[in-house]
Amino acid sequence: MAVVERNTKMKETEKIYSCEVKKLFLRNGIKRREWAKAVVADAIRDEATEFRCKDCHGAVRLRGKLVKDGSAPHIEHKSRQDSEYCAAGMYFRQHPEREPRMSESPVA
């Protein structure tokens, strides 16, 4: 009995495990909300509500609590264009000739 190989294409997904989250800081007696780098799993545990890419400052989608493939909590760019020009982006890594740049629609 011959083994039949299937040409199955697995969908490659972007998985970025660190990001920036908005946190409350006390600076010189003044409370301010500022962006700070964090591991995605820690940001979820700390119940952060605002996320952005640490490299391009673009909008990201959180993949944390209900990840079907069993991977660790992570983020993915919402915009393919951000992924194409972000150093952490999956599409950027597929085209090494590109120069990284900031998102055209950064999260403020």
User: What confidence tens digit (pLDDT) does each residue in 70-98 have?
Assistant: 678 899 999 999 999 999 998 998 888 99
CA 22 to each of CA 34, 49, 53, 54: distance values in angstroms, whole numbers, following the listed order: 5, 8, 12, 12
Residue 68 pLDDT exceeds 50: yes
Q: What is the pLDDT of residues 24-51, one digit of tens each?
A: 999 999 999 999 999 999 988 888 899 9
How many whole angstroms separate alpha carbon 41 and alpha carbon 26? 24
Which residue matches tokens 């700390």?
46
How many whole angstroms separate alpha carbon 52 and alpha carbon 58? 6
Q: pTM of the full predicted structure?
A: 0.77
Q: Look at residues 63, 108, 54 and name the one whose alpha carbon lies nearest to residue 82.
A: 54
